Amino acid sequence: MSLNPRDAVIVDAVRTPMGRSKNGMFRHVRAEKLSAELIGALMVRNPGWNVAETEDVIWGCVNQTKEQGLNIARNAAMLAGLPCTVAAQTINRLCGSSMQALHNAAMGIQTGLGDVFVIGGVEHMGHVAMDHGIDLNPEGSKHYAKASNMMGLTAELLGQMNGISRQMQDEFGVRSHQKAWDAAQSGRWDNEIVAIEGHNSDGFKVKCAIDEVIRPDTSLEGLQALRPVFDPRNGTITAGTSSALSDGAAAMLVMSAERAQALGLTIRAKVHSMAVAGCEAAVMGRGPVPATRKALQRAGLSLDDIDVFELNEAFAAQALAVMKELKILDRMEDRVNLNGGAIALGHPLGCSGARITGTLLNVMEHKDATFGLATMCIGLGQGIATVIERV
């Protein structure tokens, strides 16, 4: 494969370990700090990067208020010690925010509006709750169901329409924790996790390097015993088959191919194609389907060309429904979310896009794969997808 000078390439990808939102290890660590730590880590890991020539810091974050308010990207950049000449912006495409940050950087590079970008995202869901300060326009009720704002209910509907049983969901939930824990045990997270100072349950100051949210003891029997949370009567989705609430950040160093080459940096992958798409809010979970199709079409690839997938596990029912519709369910075992997903690691909204794309990159390197696709569903009916190619 050949690189064009204006191809957007990923030089590095890092993330924090995922802390439990309820009294977890980052309960005294703020969202800007988690973000700044990663920018700092990128500097340390990539001494060839001349930070002063960075065009922009693009950070995904959903609930931009309190500590996440007032352009958290700029606050994080300043905390990290980036020169004041580097710009910074925060963007919001809900769950797809930091994947969108990657897309924006890639678009900037492809159109000649900069050569070096830091992208990433963060969400401290323990400090800024998902529903904090939310005031939706009541008039929206004329255009979509209010229940479509309740992600769990949309996943119930999607699961129902696709015949995703409780059993399938519980098995998928166990798989997520098992794979994530196995990755932790065998060191497959090591290249992406940056240890961050936090506090243990007694309040002692410690360096956190392990995803606190993973539950290694998750069993099928345990999950089967849980009660449905969103629709207690007829529902199938439990806390165990929903993405966990966690605090975390993820980041990437993105450059034009020509600049990376000129600096002598290792190019880990290039952004091959990107897409966003909309769908009905009531089944927002199927957003990855149209987004994936668009991204593949733009890449001139078919699903068969994709070696590994990272599919954000908002809910097991949702992830399984997407795989069913894309007809990749039978290839799930060796191609999809090989290190587990958000059910085990949690889904800090603004962080997840950069997190799963970074994880995809590491899995691809581990499997020596060529093409990988990361995709995620977005509340109120959207999907976002990125195809990356190792070079």
Positions that interact with other proteins (CB under 8 A): 138-148, 150, 153-154, 157, 231, 233-234, 280-283
Q: How far apart are CA 380 and CA 382, in angstroms?
A: 7
CB atoms within 10 A of CB 130: 15
Rg over CA atoms, the chain: 19
CB of 380 to other proteins, least distance (A): 11
CB 293 to other proteins: min, Å: 19
Nearer to other proteins, 222 or 228 (CB): 228
3-state secondary structure of 221: helix
Cα 25 from Cα 201, distance rounded (Å):
7
CB burial string 78-92: b at 16+ within 10 A, e below: bbbebeeebbbebbe
Q: How far is the CB of 231 from other proteins (least distance, A)?
A: 7
Q: How far is CA 80 from CA 50, 53, 88, 118, 228, in A?
A: 14, 15, 12, 12, 42
Of 9, 74, 76, 75, give the one whose Cα is nearest residue 46. Answer: 9
- The single residue of 103, 177, 199, 347 carrying the catalytic annotation is 347
CB nearer to other proteins: pick between 145 and 267:
145
Which one, 144 or 219, has the nearer CB to other proteins? 144
CB of residue 130 to other proteins, shortest distance in Å: 19
Q: Are 337 and 311 in contact (CB under 8 A)?
A: yes
- Which residue among the candidates 61, 95, 208, 279 is catalytic per the annotation? 95
Respond yes or no: is residue 279 known to be catalytic: no
Question: Whose Cβ is closer to other proteins: residue 286's or residue 355's?
Answer: 286
Tell the smallest beta-carbon distance from residue 287 to other proteins (Å): 13
- Torsion, CA 285, CA 370, CA 357, CA 106, rounded to 10: -100
Nearer to other proteins, 33 or 286 (CB): 286
377 is catalytic: yes
Distance of alpha carbon 381 from alpha carbon 155, whole angstroms: 11
The residues that are catalytic are: 95, 347, 377
